[in-house]
Amino acid sequence: ADDLPEDLRTGAFNPFIAKLGFWGKTALTEEERRQADNFCNAALNRTAAQMALPLNLIDLMNFEPIIENVVQKGLPELQREILFLHIKEKPRREL
């Protein structure tokens, strides 16, 4: 989801491009972008929900607060920023 626009421009494989039928496109209309963001959001929400259930079944010992923070707060916030605030289109800093 994060690199969907870049993958469209470069022709790189991206499972969301295939699923949404965007093969051959190099850019998305505003409506297609909204459709892609909503689809990716739903798919990522389903994945996160599937990940949270097994975490409740294992003993995470001292790491429980950290892992819960990442799963319950960090991932959803990053997902929101990427899909709905479009930070992915800002230039990335080189490390």
Domain count, the chain: 1
pLDDT(55) > 90: no
Residue 8: what pLDDT? 94
Residue 21: what pLDDT? 93
**Is residue 57 situated within a structural domain?**
yes
Residue 1: what pLDDT? 87
**Is residue 19 situated within a structural domain?**
no
Judge residue 39's burial from the number of C-beta atoms within 10 Å of its C-beta, 0-12 exposed, 13-18 middle, 19 or more buried: middle
Q: Per residue in 35-53, pLDDT tens?
A: 999 999 999 999 888 887 8
**Is residue 54 situated within a structural domain?**
yes
The pLDDT of 61-73, averaged and rounded, is 88
For the chain, list the strands marked E by DSSP: none
Through-space distance between the first and last CA atoms of the chain, rounded to whole angstroms: 22
The pLDDT of 4-19, averaged and rounded, is 93
**Is residue 71 situated within a structural domain?**
yes
The pair phi, psi for residue 8, each rounded to 5°, is: -65, -45
**Is residue 34 situated within a structural domain?**
yes
Domain of residue 73: give its range.
Answer: 28-89
